[in-house]
Chain A
Amino acid sequence: MTDRSKITTVNSSVPTDWKSDAMQARIGRRYRRERIFRSLGLAAVVISVLFLVFLLGNIVKNGAYGFMQTSVSLDVTFNADLLGDPSVLSAEEFTEKVRKTNMLRLIQASMRDLFPDVKGRRDTRALLRLVSTGARAQLRDMILANPSLVGNTERVELLTSDDIDQVIKGNIDITLAEANRKVKDKELSWLKTLQDDDRISLDFHSQFLTGGDSREPELAGVWGAIVGSALTLMVTLVTAFPIGLFAAVYLEEFAPKNRFTDIIEININNLAAVPSIVFGLLGLAVFLSVMGMPRSAPIVGGLTLALLTLPTVIIASRASIAAVPPSIRDAARGLGASPMQVVFHHVIPLAMPGIMTGTIIGMARALGESAPLLMIGMVAFIVDIPGSINDAATVLPVQIYLWADSPERAFVEKTSAAIMVLLFFLIAMNGVAIWLRQKFEQKW
């Protein structure tokens, strides 16, 4: 207190003693506080950046292996006794016979050659479980595509089961006590034999990008979800773009300034902030139960997302239309164009880059949206690739949600890989939007 009173300068006509110790100490304190404040700001930015790096790094680290799959090379003898002889049977008969054949027996035979010591039902079954359940379909398709294989022995690369795959990728801790892990010692010793024989390989797995969903992680692919997303977005684009553009044109160019347009405007702003799940409820109540549209279909998902993105499109389009200078309108009107011609021949073409940018950003948001789609049943397990907007389908984010819920360890990397695919599309869309903005940006 006494210190403070020294620097009190009430009513004094003498200059403040800035050099006094009390004042110097005070200034030191103020600068310290300044530095703390500044570092808090910097810390906030750094935390955000670090979090993003952590998030993306984590996903890439987990997801990189999602694009790869372990396979095992087996010498499979395409036994003519089992499969039938394509030179004797007609094409249909042969196909029929192959379809009915249990391909596991081919695998079993080749395994027996590799592991002659393995006896007993349980061990044999465990041995066969090293190979993915999808291997059967893989073999069958091979034979049907190339019937001349029958009677020969070929070295075939078959997918391993997801557990073995996880061991190879190092995601299962094999130092744990045997009882605590899914893959037992015996299986590991077989795996070791196969590895020593150079039969195990970890390769890029194209089925992940071209296949549909599956219960088995090693067979699951994102193509079905990508197609579903594409169909859904198509519906969204076809609906939201013209309606959003028209609404923006009306509000910006034609609407009288009255209470009613005020209400519309406030409405659009509020609609932009309504939680997305509420739009899902709307879709459920209106599209599904009142209009009786098909559940899980991209048409319903697309319409729901269209309602969701409509405010974004309208707001972006309006901003872009408003940025076109009035002089252009005056010039066109001076040449005798009707108001409608002014807008459609001059204003909209000039505003188009901005409108497109806004629309693409809206679409990108719709692409990442999942909550409203859960409401309208796009969460079903769907193996087939959807062919039309009326087929049951799922979309990428919902596929991610479904996989994230799956208990298998292998789905973690599949989920991360699917996230990478989703982020790739988002980055691509935003990249296009940025490119459009920069290419056509005009300063009026």
Chain B
Amino acid sequence: MAMISFALIRQRSVAVVGGATQQLHSLPRYHGYFAAVRVFIPCIFLFLLWLVGGEAVIENLIISGLPDALKSTNSEQISLVLNRIQLAVQHGEQSTSDANILAAAERYSSLYNKGLWSTFWLTVAIGLTGYYLSKNRTQANFRARNNFEKTMSITLAASSFLAIVVTLGIVASLIFESLRFFQQIPIQDFLFGLHWSPQTALRADQVASAGAFGAIPLFAGTFLISLLAMMVAGPIGLFAAIYLTQYANQRVRAVAKPVLEILAGVPTVVYGFFAALTVAPMLRDAGGAIGVDVASESALAAGLVMGVMIIPFVSSLSDDAITAVPSSLKDGSFALGATKAETISQVLLPAALPGVVGAFLLAISRAIGETMIVVMAAGMRPNLTANPLEAVTTVTVQIVALLTGDQEFDSPKTLSAFALGLALFVITLLLNIAALRMVRKYREAYD
């Protein structure tokens, strides 16, 4: 509904300006642009304001208008009531028989409509004002281009500023929801607890006295799978980079490089499917054949496939690091009578070490944040083990498990997903910063 009004308004503003551009004489395009910007920007602001704040205002109005019977100081209950009201708005009488709720629902939809329409008309009014203002200024001597360019440069700066806004948005939303979680669950229980079972807390419906939000098993599982992945991707990626940069001829490179790019481009859900339906059963059967018990959702399967997925990251970044080493060092080593292997392992790699370490850190960060493979191929059950043949669960798996399906936004169960997300974000951010630092320092050394 809101989107339709948005589209209408936009169409309208465009149409309005479209008429104007025909009438203008000097620099018609720029007058047109200027007018368009004048109309469009305030409208979009107003619309966003409605989108962000409108609902909250209405909800507050509804809550204050609720009969005492439904009023409650408990925020959870209020949101419960609000949910019921919203259900009633959508489905009418069949959803509830409570007259109070129905009345509130009616008020809600009338308020919502009023708000929507007033926003709509206000937008139209502002759009028209902008149009007339710019129309009045449309004179031969008006420096429309300069004005338009000023607006444009602000738009450009705002666009790049958005990157910061996104980061702040991530940090703010994660921290905000996590703080609400930590109000209910002490942070030390989360960080150092050994027992993870979010379901029990929901059932008990007490302020999570069960203390089942110990994230250590999740961290351990994430660590185990990432470690397995790196054991695959580290050596293979590094050796592939060495072979491709130092040994391979043009023909081999022409085949191998696209293959690695394809490996990087395959969607993770495909790897997940492959891990769950092909690799895991293969491992289980292989284990069965030699009498080892392998879980059908073993950490090994997820780790192996994830390792293959990050081979291209390791190899392409290591490739960059190795080729950045000046060839004079290689020549110096060869001139002393070193073999290629000696030159690579004793001169090239030590010289490229910071870059290679950076590559590994980025790959680890990728492994930790990877979701689909583990969701599909690792288990759900928290398991504090170092045995790769058992099933483990990871941070990302739990985030998905906690947030798919119906959610209650206030329960610690849901909020814990944000706390996990925050932990994930912080860990990967630290790894990335360290990696980028290393790579950058290393580049400076050889530039």
Contact = CB atoms under 8 A, between A and B. Distances in A.
Q: Verify whether A and B have any Cβ pair under 8 Å.
A: yes
Contacts of A401: 269, 272-273, 372, 375-376
Given A30-B339, A423-B270, 20 more contacts: A37-B341, A44-B237, A44-B243, A48-B311, A254-B153, A255-B157, A263-B164, A274-B428, A275-B371, A278-B425, A281-B417, A282-B166, A291-B52, A368-B267, A368-B268, A375-B400, A404-B273, A404-B277, A415-B273, A422-B270
Interface stretch (B68-76, B292-300, B429-437): B429-437
Contacts of B421: 277-278, 281
A294 to B, nearest CB: 9
A430 B265 CA distance: 9
Contacts of A269: 432, 436
A401 B162 CA distance: 32
Interface in A226-253: 242-244, 246-251
Interface stretch (B12-20, B35-43, B133-141, B362-370): B362-370
Interface of B is mostly: helix
Interface residues of B, number: 93
A37 B344 contact: yes
Given A247-B162, A397-B267, A338 B145 contact: yes
Give the size category of A's interface with B: 35 or more
Contacts of A422: 267, 270
A27 B418 CA distance: 60
Nearest to B267: A368
B239 A426 contact: no
25 contacts: A30-B342, A37-B340, A41-B244, A48-B315, A58-B278, A244-B159, A247-B162, A249-B156, A250-B159, A254-B153, A263-B164, A270-B433, A271-B166, A273-B362, A274-B432, A277-B400, A286-B173, A368-B267, A368-B268, A371-B371, A371-B396, A374-B371, A374-B404, A404-B273, A426-B267
Contact of A282 (B173, B265, B274, B344): B173
A319 B244 CA distance: 25
Interface string B255-281: 110011011011111111110111000
Interface of A: 30-31, 33-34, 36-38, 40-45, 47-49, 51-52, 55, 58-59, 242-244, 246-251, 254-255, 261, 263-264, 266-271, 273-279, 281-282, 284-286, 289-293, 299, 307, 310-311, 314, 338-340, 364-365, 367-371, 374-375, 377, 379, 389-390, 397-398, 400-401, 404-405, 412, 415-416, 419, 422-423, 426, 430
A277 B273 contact: no
Contact of A371 (B155, B166, B236, B400): B400
Interface of B: 3, 51-52, 55, 145, 149, 152-153, 155-164, 166-167, 169-170, 173-174, 176-177, 235-240, 242-244, 246-248, 252, 255-256, 259-260, 262-263, 265-274, 276-278, 308, 311, 315, 339-342, 344-345, 362, 365-366, 368-372, 375-376, 396, 399-400, 403-404, 409, 417-418, 421, 424-425, 428-429, 432-433, 436
A16 B263 CA distance: 50
Nearest to A30: B339
Contact of A370 (B266, B267, B428): B267
Contact of A38 (B3, B252, B340): B340
B404 A379 contact: yes
Given A30-B339, A30-B342, A264 B149 contact: no
